[in-house]
């Protein structure tokens, strides 16, 4: 029963985002929504990474660093080495994962606010590195990055060359949504396998976990690497769309937002970061009309949400189900 319902829910979601939304956008002529929704999809991938670190009991305010790193890795590979963008996408993720292993080994021993503070600094370190390193072209950043080329296997075109498209936005939208769906499917499986339970055991009591033989240091690093992989992936895709990257492309504010997305959606739900990103992004845009009061209203609503819905927006759904 539950299985059928889940499959049905996924099918409906896919139909809506892959066919329904593009159809609505074309019908209403709001083409700008493509870019907005693409951003939501990519930001939610990076937020999903942050969610993984929450899942092992660490507050991560450093995802911006890995999004920036992933973006630069992809940009440098495409521009300087002529590598196909589609190949740089996983490479950027893997590069970030490898870097996060080196960074994580020492800092993952820290807990609570101490870990959070170090990760907060990471974002700033990444920005300063991007400013200082010769390969990143400093404050001028990297611009006019070519659009992704096509992919074809045995002469069969899977993805067209984006440069030949009259409007690459719908294509970017579809690719980003597919990427998001894949990432969340992978995460869903992770959480519902024994690894998810092991992560929960870390979150709830590291000492007890190690007393039952769990290699907590190893598991923490794995989780952090997955987190950073997702950050790098999101960052790299973003750069392909904006065709440029600067040291300020991802800042501390973005890192904080990635974390807020998780909080808002709900830390105990895999799809929390997706909902959180969507609501936060559109909530912010929606309040644009209020002008100078935008930030004031936005922050007040956030505070209220956290007070009254400490388990995130998705806890609403469960509450409703219990009553019905």
List contacts with another protein (CB under 8 A): 189-190, 193-195, 197-198, 200-201, 204-205, 207-208, 210-217, 222
Rounded to a whole number of angstroms, the minimum distance from the CB of residue 185 to another protein is: 12
Rounded to a whole number of angstroms, the minimum distance from the CB of residue 208 to another protein is: 5
Rounded to a whole number of angstroms, the minimum distance from the CB of residue 196 to another protein is: 9
Rounded to a whole number of angstroms, the minimum distance from the CB of residue 195 to another protein is: 6
Q: Of 82 and 213, which CB lies nearer to another protein in the complex structure?
A: 213
Tracing tokens 């440069």 back to the chain, one arrives at: 163
CA neighbor of 228 nearest in space, from 79, 78, 58, 76 = 58
Q: Of 6 and 204, which CB lies nearer to another protein in the complex structure?
A: 204
State the Cα–Cα distance between residues 220 and 203, nearest whole angstrom.
10
Q: Of 65 and 222, which CB lies nearer to another protein in the complex structure?
A: 222
Backbone phi and psi for residue 151, each to the nearest 5 degrees, phi listed first: -125, 130
Rounded to a whole number of angstroms, the minimum distance from the CB of residue 188 to another protein is: 11
Rounded to a whole number of angstroms, the minimum distance from the CB of residue 3 to another protein is: 14
Q: Of 23 and 319, which CB lies nearer to another protein in the complex structure?
A: 319
Contact 267, 51 (CB under 8 A): yes
State the Cα–Cα distance between residues 232 and 228, nearest whole angstrom.
6
Q: How many CB atoms lie within 10 A of CB 237?
A: 27
Query: Where are the strands (E) in 103-167, listed by range?
Result: 151-153, 156-159
Backbone phi and psi for residue 35, each to the nearest 5 degrees, phi listed first: -65, -45
Q: Of 37 and 267, which CB lies nearer to another protein in the complex structure?
A: 267
Q: Of 206 and 254, which CB lies nearer to another protein in the complex structure?
A: 206
Tokens of 215: 């290699």
CA neighbor of 126 nearest in space, from 294, 245, 4 = 245
């Amino acid at each position: 029963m539950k299985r059928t319902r889940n499959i049905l829910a996924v099918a409906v979601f896919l139909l809506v985002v892959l066919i329904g939304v593009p159809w609505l956008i074309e019908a209403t002529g709001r083409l700008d929504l493509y870019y907005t929704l693409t951003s939501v999809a990519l930001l939610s991938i990076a937020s999903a990474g942050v969610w993984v670190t929450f899942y092992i009991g660490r507050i991560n305010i450093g995802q911006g660093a890995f999004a920036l790193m992933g973006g630069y890795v992809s940009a440098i590979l495409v521009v300087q080495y002529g590598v196909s963008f589609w190949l740089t996408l996983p490479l950027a993720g893997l590069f970030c994962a490898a870097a996060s292993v080196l960074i994580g080994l020492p800092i993952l021993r820290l807990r609570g606010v101490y870990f959070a503070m170090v990760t907060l600094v990471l974002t700033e370190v990444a920005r300063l590195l991007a400013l200082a390193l010769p390969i990143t072209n400093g404050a001028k950043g990297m611009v006019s990055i070519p659009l992704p080329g096509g992919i074809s296997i045995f002469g069969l075109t899977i993805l067209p060359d984006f440069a030949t498209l009259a409007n690459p936005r719908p294509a970017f939208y579809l690719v980003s949504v597919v990427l998001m769906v894949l990432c969340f499917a992978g995460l869903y499986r992770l959480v519902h396998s024994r690894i998810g339970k092991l992560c929960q055991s870390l979150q709830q009591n590291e000492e007890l976990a190690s007393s039952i033989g769990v290699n907590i240091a190893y598991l923490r690093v794995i989780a952090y690497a997955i987190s950073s992989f997702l950050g790098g992936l999101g960052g790299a895709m973003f750069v392909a769309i904006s065709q440029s990257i600067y040291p300020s492309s991802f800042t501390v504010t973005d890192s904080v937002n990635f974390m807020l997305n998780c909080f808002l959606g709900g830390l105990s739900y895999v799809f929390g970061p997706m909902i959180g990103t969507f609501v936060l992004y559109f909530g912010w845009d929606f309040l644009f009309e209020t002008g100078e009061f935008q930030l004031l209203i936005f922050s007040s609503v956030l505070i209220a949400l956290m007070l009254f819905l400490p388990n995130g927006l998705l806890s609403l759904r469960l509450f409703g189900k219990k009553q019905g």
